[in-house]
Amino acid sequence: MREIAGRLLSECSVEMVIGFRQGTMPMMNEPCFVTREEDVSSLIWDSNCGINLANYLTNRKEKIAVFAKGCDSRNIVNHIVENKIGRDQLHIVGVPCTGMIDKRRIAGLVEGEILEVSETDTTVKVKTAAAESLFDKAEVLQQNCALCVHRNPVIHDEMVADPVEEQTDIDRYADIRKIEEMDAADKWQFFEDLLSPCIRCYACRNACPLCYCPTCFVDESKPQWVGKGQDPIDVRTFHFLRAYHCAGRCTDCGACQRACPVGIDMRLLTRKLEKDCQEQFGWEAGLSLEQRPALDVYQPNDPGAFIK
Amino acid sequence: MSDWEPKIVSFFCNWCTYGAADLAGVSRFQHPPNTRVIRVPCSGRVSPKFILAAFMNGADGVWVSGCHPGDCHYIEGNFYARRRFTLLKNQLEYMGLEPGRLHFSWISSAEASKYIEVITEVIDAVKALGPNTRFVKPQAKVA
């Protein structure tokens, strides 16, 4: 990958390469913007690169090379379709992905501070001051990666490796269906409990590559659609609208959940919308540059049985 | 509680349902008085924020009504709206809103009798559920 980045920069075919570098803590790789060939050595790639790099492309003017996993590439497609960046401005370096590690699950599995995390193709080794433990990588994946059916980039100019095998026979919505089957009071209570830890830090919004409105609805004051405090109804309304804004666009990259400091699984909301888009309109986000998003088109025979 | 009457916020398209409501009035049809009508240029103008804001401010029910598919004054506004409402209704009910609080209909400006039918149906459905407690934000009491 460093070779590719170095070549692109030295040929001056791009002005910047977006990738990852080692973070200050284990399992916390951070995005990295390389503009000089001599800096490419800071680029790394492992199973802690969960942040969605498409987030850093919004409204950029220069020519950029970006490393893209399956989900990143789908968000790049979204960005191009929504005119947030031109296809000709991008050199997409596809990275086949076998999933990212859930840092919270690892932290919950071991005791004490984690000093070092290393990995092989199928295992993850976690070192704390007291002990060293070995996990099967498949068991410590983020849930969205375990359920992923688009591991290979859908759009790329070159690939760093051969495509990996896509997962099939995945039931993406088992947990969503379980909630759908509850009665209204139980659903209300379920989401009350789910969202109660929220501190309204908006990390989920900031990490999300879809959230680029110049003025977010939470910051609007005339009229104010949603209060800024910890009132449970405001919290719920925020999460509802945030998810709804991602309807037909969300690629389930997991950036929101990963960024959440209190570990709320807000993907339960976005995945419901994803499921509905698929069932009602046969739409899956970010797969093609030619198709308009689900809410930007219609069919005369769209479902509408709920309308009197 | 016996004298409780529901408050229903209705968003009516200027070109059809609003006309139907007018026609129903002119024709002296009787119907229950529980709706507060907001006139919008098209059902496609109705943002999910409006519906949430209505519930937040104490509506017991919300009803959105526009032109029949194909009859939109702006050609295709209600087609877009239909997709949006499909997801919106599913998602609100997924998060615990009782089915029966949120209603949608297509009523043309000639269908005063359908208007009476639907308004009665909407009010009955909301009445049966009682006062809304979900998505309602308690308002500061004014002395």
CB contact under 8 A, A276 and B87: yes
Share of chain A above pLDDT 70, in %: 100
Residue B100 in contact with residue B89, Cβ under 8 Å? Answer: no
Tell me the pLDDT tens digit for each residue of A95-113.
Answer: 999 999 998 899 888 888 8
Whether pLDDT at B2 is above 80: no
Residue A9 CA, chain-centre distance (Å), reads 27
What is the ipTM metric for this complex?
A: 0.91
Q: What is the pLDDT of residue A91?
A: 93
Q: How far, in Å, CA of A252 to CA of A256, rounded?
A: 9
Q: Both tokens of residue B21?
A: 């409501």
Looking at chain B, which residue has its C-alpha nearest residue A179? B94
Domain ranges of chain B: 8-129
Residue A150 in contact with residue A284, Cβ under 8 Å? Answer: no
The alpha-carbon gap from B92 to the nearest alpha carbon of chain A, in Å, equals: 8
Residue A12 CA, chain-centre distance (Å), reads 30
The alpha-carbon gap from A295 to the nearest alpha carbon of chain B, in Å, equals: 6
- Among B13, B90, B95, pick the best mutation site for testing chain A contact (most A Cβ within 10 A): B95
Residue A307 in contact with residue B85, Cβ under 8 Å? Answer: yes
Q: Is B48 on the interface with A (CB under 8 A)?
A: yes
CB contact under 8 A, A269 and B79: no
The alpha-carbon gap from A166 to the nearest alpha carbon of chain B, in Å, equals: 29
Q: What is the pLDDT of residue A116?
A: 87
Q: Both tokens of residue A2?
A: 């460093």
Name the CATH architecture for the domain at B8-129. 3-Layer(aba) Sandwich (3.40)
- Give the confidence band of A2 by pLDDT, cuts at 50, 70, 90: confident
Whether pLDDT at B143 is above 70: no
- A3 CB burial (10 A radius; 0-12, 13-18, 19+): exposed
Tell me the pLDDT tens digit for each residue of A256-287.
Answer: 999 999 999 999 999 999 999 999 999 999 99
Q: Kindly report whether the global pTM for this prediction surpasses the value 0.80.
A: yes
A226: phi > 0 → left, psi -120 to 50 → alpha, else beta; which? beta
Cβ-based neighbours of B1, under 8 Å, separated by 6 or more: B130
Q: How far, in Å, CA of A69 to CA of A213, rounded?
A: 24
Looking at chain A, which residue has its C-alpha nearest residue B71? A300
Tell me the pLDDT tens digit for each residue of A206-240.
Answer: 999 999 999 999 999 888 899 888 889 999 999 99
